[in-house]
């Protein structure tokens, strides 16, 4: 693949650029032959997926590079046909059950069972088990997670699960305890800088150190984003300059602007304007917790500590309620209105004190 993100992705545990110690542990674990279920978690852009692919490669060798993409069909108890895309090699299968929304339980049950029940065909393969890689486990419904729990024990002889999640908070404790949790922290700024430099070197480009630093900072320690930014910068302007314009994702800018609208004026009219912007964000399929997070981060920038605590509490509560409901717009707008109310009160009282 031609995007730098994919082109310079490390392919073996030994070639990983950061958290080398962890990579060493993983390597040792695989060589010992005692391979447990894994739960790999960490922020997005930290290299979880890369690490998992390295693990699988370490387990089975180059055979895993021969990937196929397939769509599997499932039928729910209510006779609804579901389709899900899987990526698989002879040794592993990767699937994102949350693609099918609330029917993920069926996928988990069917897929894991069918995979687990067939034994490894190739006897020359090093391991006698297959790997099922489930991504976005934190978005699985409770039902699906419960279904997972039993299968994990039952088919342990023939298959290992590697679960990949952003945070363990929404993974059932029962599942967490059945897995070896491996946290992949986000790379540090200097890590990212090094990687950016090495990419530029391989591309035959010169990258000013300041720009690398700025890129790393703007990306929010998301390596994938940093590399994409770098490539966008290269398309935009080469040779690089230190104070070059860095492309930020539009949705981030949009959320920031929305938040500044919230701070600038508190009235039902503004609320209506903000609602339209929220709809816009939602239709672009931006995950709603990211919207919440973005709004909160911007809003509390010019609040004092007391207010920060209050607003963060409210945001946490409202986000939690959002996950219990099905219409994010209600909850987002509720948060916006609540923030406006709190902020207006705060501004008014501070003005009074001033007078």
Partner 1 sequence: MDSEFPDPDEEFDLVHEEEYEILKEIEELGKKKGAESGKIENSQEEQRGDKLNISRSNVHEELNAITSSKYNESRTPSTSKVIPSTNNDDFDTDVTKKRHYDELFGDISDMLDTNDLADIQEPKDKKPRWDEPQEIIKAVLDAREKFNEYSRGVSVNRKYIKDKRESISLRVPRWNFVALTRPRDAQRIYLRVKNDEQSKIKTNTHSISNLLSVPYSQLKTEAEEIIVQNVKRANCETSHLPVTKTLENDELWVDKYRPRSYIELLSDESVNRQLLHWIKLWDKTVFNRNYIDNKKKKLNFKFRNSKFVDEKPFQELDNRGFPIQRIALLSGPPGLGKTTLAHLVAKHAGYNVVEINASDERSPDAFRQVLLASTQMKAVIGNDPRPNCLVLDEIDGAPTASIDLLLKFVQGKLIPKGKKDKTKTDKHVCHRPVICICNEPYTPSLRILRAAAFIISVPEVSATKLADRLMEVSRKEKLKVNPDALLRLVEISGCDIRSCIGALQYMGGVNLRDNLSFALKDSRKGLFDSWKQILKIPVNRNGILPLSERVQLVLKTVQNGESEKLAQGIFHNYPEICSDKLNYIALCLKWFQFFDEILFLVGSLQTWSIMPYLNYAFVTWHLYFAKARNIKLSYPSIVYEMNQKHARNIGVLTTVQRNSGHNSIILTVDIAPFLPDLLSPQLRTVSGHLYSDKEKNDINRLVNVLIDFGLTFIQEKNLDEKYDYKLDPNIFEIGIFPDCKYRRTPIHAVKQIIVQELEAERLRRVENAIKSMTKSAQNKKSITSESITNNNVTTNSTTSNSAKICNNATSKPNALEQSKKLQMETKDIKYKDFFGRTITVNQGEQKKLHKESIKSRNFLTKNSVWYKYKEGFSNAVRRNVKMKDLL
Q: How far apart are CA 27 and CA 13, in angstroms?
A: 7
Q: Which is nearer to partner 1, 185 or 249 (CB)?
A: 249
Provide the minimum distance between the beta carbon of 196 and partner 1 in the complex, in angstroms, as a whole number. Answer: 15
Provide the minimum distance between the beta carbon of 156 and partner 1 in the complex, in angstroms, as a whole number. Answer: 27
Residue with token string 């031609």: 2
Q: Which is nearer to partner 1, 11 or 198 (CB)?
A: 11
Provide the minimum distance between the beta carbon of 210 and partner 1 in the complex, in angstroms, as a whole number. Answer: 21
Residue with token string 């963060």: 312
Residue 162 contacts by C-beta under 8 Å, 6 or more apart in sequence? Answer: 37, 38, 40, 52, 55, 56, 131, 132, 133, 134
φ/ψ (deg, to 5) at 343: -70, -40
DSSP letters of 223-249? HHHHHHHHHHHHHH-SS--TT---PPP
Q: Which is nearer to partner 1, 151 or 222 (CB)?
A: 222
Q: How far apart are CA 177 and CA 299, in angstroms?
A: 37
Q: Which is nearer to partner 1, 276 or 355 (CB)?
A: 276
Contact status, residue 230 vs residue 197, Cβ threshold 8 Å = no
Provide the minimum distance between the beta carbon of 315 and partner 1 in the complex, in angstroms, as a whole number. Answer: 13
Q: Which is nearer to partner 1, 156 or 246 (CB)?
A: 246
Longest dimension (CA), the chain: 83
The C-alpha torsion from 140 through 146 and 149 to 150, rounded to 10°, is: -140
Q: Which is nearer to partner 1, 79 or 324 (CB)?
A: 324
């Amino acid at each position: 693949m031609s995007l730098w993100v994919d082109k310079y992705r490390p392919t073996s545990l030994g070639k990983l650029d950061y958290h080398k110690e962890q990579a060493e542990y993983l390597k040792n674990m695989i060589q010992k032959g005692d391979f447990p279920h894994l739960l790999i978690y960490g922020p997005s852009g930290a290299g979880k997926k890369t690490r998992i692919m390295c693990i699988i490669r370490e387990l089975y060798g180059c055979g895993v590079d021969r990937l196929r993409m397939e769509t599997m069909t499932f039928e729910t108890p209510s006779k609804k046909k579901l389709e899900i895309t899987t990526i698989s090699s002879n040794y592993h299968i990767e699937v994102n059950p949350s693609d099918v929304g609330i029917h993920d339980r069926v996928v988990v049950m069917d897929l894991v069972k069918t995979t687990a029940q067939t034994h490894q065909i190739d006897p020359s393969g090093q391991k006698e088990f297959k790997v099922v890689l489930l991504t976005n486990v934190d978005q699985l419904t409770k039902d699906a997670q419960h279904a997972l729990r039993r299968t994990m024990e039952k088919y342990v002889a023939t298959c290992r699960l590697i679960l990949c999640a952003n945070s363990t908070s929404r993974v059932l404790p029962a599942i967490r305890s059945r897995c070896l949790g491996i946290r992949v922290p986000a790379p540090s700024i200097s890590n990212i800088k090094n990687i950016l430099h090495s990419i530029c070197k391989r591309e035959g480009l010169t990258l000013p150190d300041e720009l690398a630093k700025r890129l790393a900072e703007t990306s929010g320690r998301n390596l994938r984003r940093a590399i994409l930014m770098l490539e966008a910068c290269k398309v935009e302007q080469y040779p690089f300059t230190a104070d070059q314009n860095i492309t930020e994702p539009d949705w981030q800018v949009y959320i920031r602007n929305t938040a500044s609208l919230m701070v600038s004026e508190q009235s039902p009219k503004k609320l209506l304007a903000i609602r339209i912007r929220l709809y816009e964000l939602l239709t672009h399929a931006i995950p709603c917790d990211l919207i919440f997070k973005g709004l909160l981060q911007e809003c509390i920038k010019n609040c004092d500590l007391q207010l920060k605590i209050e607003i963060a509490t409210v945001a946490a509560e409202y986000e939690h309620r959002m996950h219990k409901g099905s219409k994010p717009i209600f909850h987002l707008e509720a948060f916006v209105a609540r923030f406006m109310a709190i902020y207006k009160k705060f501004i008014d009282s501070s003005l009074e004190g001033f007078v």
